[in-house]
């Protein structure tokens, strides 16, 4: 099959084979083959409806494009090699299916606005999938958190034991970070949701095109405003890569906590054999490889953002061939993020809590020192005075080599009269955890409220994603459009 490399398409001699092979983006472009086919089918429909091409040709083109899309959806599309990109490959393939009618498809469009449309469709579709996967994980976290509102373990600041919390509270913290990142992904989905087709090479078209029709067929609520800006715009790809990095960073922080908590030094979390691996040399080892790999994936997300930032830095207005190199960073984002979300959701049920170890880590009373100071505040003692008194009590216990919880009321009262038996009772870990009733605190009623908030936020994000049509929906919509 002869190729339609750009110079050949315009009557030139054709690009040197070595340079064509070096400059082609076809291997990357294959990922958004369906987007290209559906964008072309919507465009062909518009050309026919607007009277720009004969209806018979428009119908033949649309039918062929939708048939190819059906093959692509089944993974059966056979796209020819040897082209500069997927756009030329599709046009070349159409020539063998509909003959000279294929020559009309590129009327009133440029590959500049065509690739921008393909990428927007791809980013919107993949952002939709990521939001749905992330909210599924958030829901799983909410369910697990609800079951763990009484399970004690220490919270950590500066990676040192800080205060008693519940495991449910810790899980809600993970889910909260994930949902913030997911909101960023939903924003990226919205930013991609504009039709680029109809911008042409840089200034629109003199033909009577109907951008509103194409936007409706492709599920875009609006068309872009300025053709010159549109063909040079990759901000939506940057937003997508940034959002992907944010999701991976949220998963990485969750994974980092699970790596730590599963070590012998922390040992408040247990990983069963379904997600932990053995050492090839040390038979006693049980490694958190899955979580270490999840932690590592954020490097890929950050690299994608940096690559796109450097790529677009200093580019002049309009389309530049540099922008072809947006493919690797943009197209690799979704597979990396979706696989990481799936790995975390699969792993979470295999994470167990060692409740006894959690209680033991809190038993000496030191993590309840702030609770003791606040007990004194409730007796009318200024906080700084209470802080100094509890600090002196902590030093007394350390000097005596006894746990803070073992210091008697008589000893404590010698340091400050407000340090009586009633105040010292707050050193019991469960009582301290239950006492944090402030909004956002770790008391079980507050954690249950937070779980409800997680579910509500996840549902709202899921609804936003589900309002975006899938590629299959677009295919059916285009096929049903009168022509």
pLDDT in tens, 66-86: 999 999 999 998 777 777 778
Q: Does domain 364-435 bear CATH number 3.30.540.10? A: no
Quote the DSSP letter at residue 221. S
Give the pLDDT confidence of 448-483 residue by residue, as tens digits.
Answer: 999 999 999 999 999 999 999 999 999 999 999 999
Q: Taking a C-beta distance cutoff of 8 angstroms, is the pair 310, 345 a contact?
A: no
CATH number, domain 112-207+219-360+450-470, options 1.20.200.10, 1.10.486.10, 3.40.50.720, 3.30.70.120: 1.20.200.10
Axis-axis angle for helices 289-312, 327-347 (nearest 10)? 160
Nearest to 202 by CA among 85, 116, 84, 303: 116
User: Sorting pLDDT into bands at 50, 70 and 90, what band is 366?
Assistant: very high
Residue 24 has pLDDT above 90, yes or no: no
User: Sorting pLDDT into bands at 50, 70 and 90, what band is 287?
Assistant: confident
Active site residue 396: no
Average pLDDT over residues 251-255: 97
Quote the DSSP letter at residue 157. E
d(CA 392, CA 383): 14
d(CA 394, CA 388): 10
Note the residue count of the chain.
483
Per-residue confidence (pLDDT) for residue 396, from 0 to 100: 95
Of 337 and 84, the structure prediction assigns the larger pLDDT to 337
Active site residue 158: yes
Catalytic residue among 279, 317, 406, 408: 279
Residue ranges covered by each domain of the chain: 6-107, 112-207+219-360+450-470, 364-435
Give the pLDDT confidence of 172-223 residue by residue, as tens digits.
Answer: 999 999 999 999 999 999 999 999 999 999 999 999 999 999 999 999 999 9
Residue 2 has pLDDT above 70, yes or no: no
Per-residue confidence (pLDDT) for residue 12, from 0 to 100: 55
Asked, colleague to colleague, whether 6-107 and 364-435 share their fold, the answer is: no
Q: Taking a C-beta distance cutoff of 8 angstroms, is the pair 273, 231 a contact?
A: no
Give the pLDDT confidence of 375-415 residue by residue, as tens digits.
Answer: 999 999 999 999 999 999 999 999 999 999 999 999 999 99
Per-residue confidence (pLDDT) for residue 46, from 0 to 100: 98
Q: What is the DSSP string of 256-300?
A: HHHHHHTSTTT--EEE-TTT-EE-SS-TT-EE-HHHHHHHHHHHH
**Average of per-residue pLDDT values in the chain:** 93
Q: Taking a C-beta distance cutoff of 8 angstroms, is the pair 361, 401 a contact?
A: no
| 357-392 burial: b if 16+ Cβ within 10 Å, else e | bbbebbbbbbbbbebbbbbbeeeebeeeebbebbee
Per-residue confidence (pLDDT) for residue 335, from 0 to 100: 97
Per-residue confidence (pLDDT) for residue 16, from 0 to 100: 86
Per-residue confidence (pLDDT) for residue 13, from 0 to 100: 62
CATH topology of domain 6-107: Fumarase C; Chain B, domain 1 (1.10.275)
What number of CA atoms fall less than 13 Å from residue 194's CA on the CB side?
Answer: 21
Residue 7 has pLDDT above 50, yes or no: no
Residue 277 has pLDDT above 90, yes or no: no
Provide the 10 A C-beta neighbour count for residue 133. Answer: 23
Residue 6 has pLDDT above 70, yes or no: no
* pTM for the predicted model, two decimal places: 0.94
Query: Which of 1-15, 90-104, 218-232 ranks highest by mean pLDDT?
Result: 218-232
Per-residue confidence (pLDDT) for residue 1, from 0 to 100: 38
Residues 457, 463, 464, CA angle at the centre, nearest 5°? 95
């Amino acid at each position: 099959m002869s190729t339609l490399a750009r110079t050949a398409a315009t009557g030139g001699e054709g690009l040197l084979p070595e340079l064509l092979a070096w400059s082609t983006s076809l291997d990357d472009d294959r990922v958004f083959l369906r987007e290209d086919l559906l964008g072309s089918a919507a465009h062909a429909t518009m050309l026919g409806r607007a009277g720009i091409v004969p209806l018979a040709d428009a119908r033949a083109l649309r039918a062929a494009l939708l048939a190819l899309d059906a093959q692509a959806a089944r993974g059966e599309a056979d796209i020819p090699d040897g082209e500069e990109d997927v756009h030329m490959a599709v046009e070349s393939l159409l020539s063998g299916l509909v003959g000279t009618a294929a020559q009309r498809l590129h009327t009133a469009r440029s590959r500049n606005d065509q690739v921008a449309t393909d990428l927007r469709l791809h980013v919107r579709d993949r952002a939709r999938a990521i939001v749905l996967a992330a909210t599924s994980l958030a829901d799983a976290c909410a369910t697990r958190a609800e079951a763990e509102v009484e399970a004690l373990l220490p919270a950590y600041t500066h990676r040192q034991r800080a205060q008693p919390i519940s495991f449910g509270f810790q899980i809600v913290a993970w889910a909260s970070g994930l949902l913030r990142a997911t909101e960023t992904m939903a924003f990226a989905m919205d930013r991609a949701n504009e039709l680029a087709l109809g911008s042409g090479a840089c200034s629109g078209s003199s033909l009577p095109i109907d951008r509103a029709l194409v936007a409706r067929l492709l599920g875009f609520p609006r068309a872009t405003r300025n053709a010159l800006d549109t063909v040079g715009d990759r901000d939506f790809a940057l937003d997508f890569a940034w959002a992907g990095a944010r999701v991976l960073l949220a998963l990485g922080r969750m994974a980092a906590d699970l790596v730590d908590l599963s070590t012998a030094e922390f040992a408040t979390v247990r990983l069963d054999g379904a997600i932990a691996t053995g050492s090839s040399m040390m038979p006693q080892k049980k490694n958190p490889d899955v979580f270490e790999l999840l932690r590592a994936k954020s490097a890929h997300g950050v690299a994608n953002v940096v690559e796109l930032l450097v790529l677009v830095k200093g580019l002049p207005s309009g389309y530049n061939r540099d922008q072809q190199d947006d493919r690797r960073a943009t197209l690799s984002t979704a597979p990396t993020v979706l696989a990481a979300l799936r790995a975390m959701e699969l792993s979470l049920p295999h994470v167990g809590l060692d409740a006894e170890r959690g209680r033991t880590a809190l038993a000496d009373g030191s993590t309840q020192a702030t609770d003791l100071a606040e007990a004194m505040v409730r007796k009318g003692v200024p906080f700084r005075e209470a802080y100094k008194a509890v600090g002196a009590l902590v030093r007394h216990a350390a000097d005596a080599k006894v746990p803070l919880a073992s210091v008697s009321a008589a000893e404590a009262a010698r340091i400050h009269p407000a340090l009586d038996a009633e105040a010292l009772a707050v050193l019991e870990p469960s009582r301290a955890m239950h006492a944090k009733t402030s909004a956002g605190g770790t008391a079980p009623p507050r954690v249950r409220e937070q779980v409800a908030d997680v579910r509500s936020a996840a549902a709202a994000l899921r609804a936003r994603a589900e309002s975006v049509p899938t590629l299959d929906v677009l295919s059916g919509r285009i096929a049903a459009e009168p022509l």
